[in-house]
Amino acid sequence: MKEKKVKWLWSYNVDKTECWLSEMAKKGWHLSSVNRWTRIFTLEKGEQKHVTYHIQYDSKNHSLPTTLQKEGWNIAVSVGNWLFLTNEVPTIRLYPSRDKLVKRNRTHAYTLSVLATFQISFSMLPIIILGILASVMEEESILAGNVWFILLLVTEIIVIASFSIYVFRAYRRFEKREMDAVIDSISSGNKLRKFKGGWMYQLEETKAWLERIAKEGYELEKVTAAVFTFRKTNPSNLKYECMFEYKVQPSYFATHKELGWKLKYSSNMTLLNYSIWAMPYEDDEEMPQFSYDKQEQRQAIKRAFKMNIGMSIYLIAILLFSFYTNTLQQVEPFIYWSFGGVMRVLLLVFLLFWSYKFIQILFSYRKSLKALD
Amino acid sequence: MKKVIQKYMPMTETAFYILLSLTEPRHGYGIIKRVEEMTNGRITLGSGTIYGTLTKMQRDEIITIYADDKRKTIYEIADLGKELMQAEMKRLKELHDNVLRFEGDFQ
């Protein structure tokens, strides 16, 4: 006996798909094949039993390491780069790593967002043109005549936008859970809020600042943009680490958490990621650190420096360019002239601010390198 | 010798001890404790060192990673890693032999 079931978005909700497959196995339905193109899952009737499913994605390796085989894992179905693994052992100790699946869904989510943005702006064009035509020619009939065409385009836009938003959110949910990038909140203690603009550009200073506040009895709870929320918890000693990584691997957060670090902040992207960590320690203990290796500490400082200095140079270049083109314009009418006047002042202020930041980044970089020696 | 092995040799002390602790699959915490034990507390590894070293080794297929039931990472040495350790141990043996041979001359 066979049953077929269509699962359109199974690969973006791998957890749900696995749960569903396990539920079906309890009822005696076991997976026998998957069609990647029609999204059809074929299940076969067998005996009712407890089966754990694990969906795996790997473009290089389509076999199962012996360690996993010993743990009871079997390949139920293998299609393309997908492996549907089953395990009938009641308590499983080892699971395959999901790193590659997270990466695949990340690539999909980002590519889809870019494609959707292009497609949507492309579809908007005819609507805008029709709208302009209608208002210029003062003829409502242009819009009325094309009402189906416009409706079609609008539907297309809505469908594409909702699909890409869905994929992106599913990926973020999956990634957050898989990577354990969850920030625990502190439920009690007086709140204290402080503003620190541009803290990402001086990680070492931010670290020292946070540790000073910890001495006053306040522990960081969370960071929203540049607003730091603290709670009065009277930590004895609190060590902070402010990190920058070009790219964080799926095991990044879990590894640090496993060793006692508490995640306080992580920027929303796995690329160019900033994060803040804290760990309490006793007086008689050695101060905890991400790395006790001087060379690694130097590398971390250099990495953040390269990013921040690059960012400031980029912004200064853009600001200089706009400032230059703005001052070149010699327009007479008051409206243009006054607009240019405001813009010029604004640009100059930003330019000065970022030049100041640039120097600050340079100085604090030298200071933190010196502090290491 | 394979290119990857050449890239890793000679190994840094931390990299060597991390691999040496993987006589069985371990968590990051387990690796740190094991290395501390083997060196009598001389080497303390931070989570940053563990993360940095092991992700690099995973990329080069020197180790394989798994997850436990709480989604914590478990590290296991791969065949390539075993080959690397053999080559490195051979080098260290030579080093050790020479230490014994010439030790007396430096007293």
pLDDT tens-digit map of A4-32: 989 888 988 898 999 999 999 999 999 99
Kindly give the parts of chain A with pLDDT less than 50: none
Q: Looking at beta carbons, which residues of chain A come within 8 Å of B49?
A: 290-293, 296
**Three-state SS across A51-75?**
CEEEEEECCCCCCCCHHHHHCCEEE
Contact A207, A279 (CB under 8 A): no
Please report the ipTM that was assigned to this predicted complex: 0.87
Which of A251, A287, A302 to mutate to test binding with chain B, by most B CBs within 10 Å of its CB?
A: A251
Whether B68 contacts chain A with CB within 8 A:
yes
Tokens of A76: 């139920």
Q: Looking at beta carbons, which residues of chain B come within 8 Å of A72?
A: none
Residue type, B45: L
Contact B75, B25 (CB under 8 A): yes
Shortest CA distance to A181 belongs to which of A248, A104, A93?
Answer: A248
Q: Looking at beta carbons, which residues of chain A come within 8 Å of B47?
A: 255-256, 258-259, 261, 290
Residue type, A65: P
What's the CA gap between A231 and A219, in Å, rounded? 5
Residue B46: predicted pLDDT: 92
What's the CA gap between B103 and B107, in Å, rounded? 7
Tell me the helices (H) and strands (E) count for chain B, helix number first. Answer: 5, 3
If you ran DSSP here, which 8-state letter would residue A16 be given? Answer: H
**pLDDT grade for B55, boundaries at 50, 70 and 90:** very high
State the average pLDDT over residues B56-75. 89
pTM value is: 0.81
Residue A338: predicted pLDDT: 67
pLDDT tens-digit map of B6-19: 999 999 999 999 99
Q: Looking at beta carbons, which residues of chain A come within 8 Å of B64?
A: 65, 67
Q: List all residues 6 or more positions away from A260 whose beta carbon is below 8 Å from its beta carbon.
A: A279, A288
Whether B96 contacts chain A with CB within 8 A:
no
Burial class (CB in 10 A: 0-12, 13-18, 19+), A304: buried
Peptide linkage before B10 cis (omega within 30 of 0): yes
Q: How far is CA B60 from the centre of its chain?
A: 14
Q: Which of A67, A92, A291 sits opposite B46 (nearest CB)?
A: A291
Task: Please answer yes or no on whether B25 and A292 come within 8 Å at the CB atom.
Answer: no
| The residue count for chain B | 107
A59: number of CA atoms within 13 Å, CB side? 6
What's the CA gap between A96 and A84, in Å, rounded? 11
Task: Please answer yes or no on whether B47 and A96 come within 8 Å at the CB atom.
Answer: no
What's the CA gap between A105 and A171, in Å, rounded? 6
**Among residues 98-137 of chain A, which lie with CB inside 8 Å of chain B?**
98-99
Q: Hey, which residues does A35 pair with through a beta bridge?
A: A40
Residue A316: predicted pLDDT: 93
Q: List all residues 6 or more positions away from A287 whose beta carbon is below 8 Å from its beta carbon.
A: A237, A239, A281
Q: How far is CA A95 from the centre of its chain?
A: 24
Whether A293 contacts chain B with CB within 8 A:
yes
Tokens of A45: 């009737």
**pLDDT grade for B68, boundaries at 50, 70 and 90:** confident
What's the CA gap between A92 and A293, in Å, rounded? 36
Residue A336: predicted pLDDT: 65
Whether A92 contacts chain B with CB within 8 A:
yes
Q: Looking at beta carbons, which residues of chain B come within 8 Å of A97?
A: 65-67, 73
| The residue count for chain A | 373
**Three-state SS across A334-371?**
HHHHHHHHHHHHHHHHHHHHHHHHHHHHHHHHHHHHHH
Which of A91, A92, A97 to mutate to test binding with chain B, by most B CBs within 10 Å of its CB?
A: A97
Whether A289 contacts chain B with CB within 8 A:
yes
Q: How big is the CA angle at B47 (ends A261 and A369), to the nearest 5 degrees?
A: 100
In A154-197, where do the E strands start and end? 191-195
Which of A93, A174, A176, A259 to mutate to test binding with chain B, by most B CBs within 10 Å of its CB?
A: A259
**Among residues 26-45 of chain B, which lie with CB inside 8 Å of chain A?**
27-29, 32, 44-45
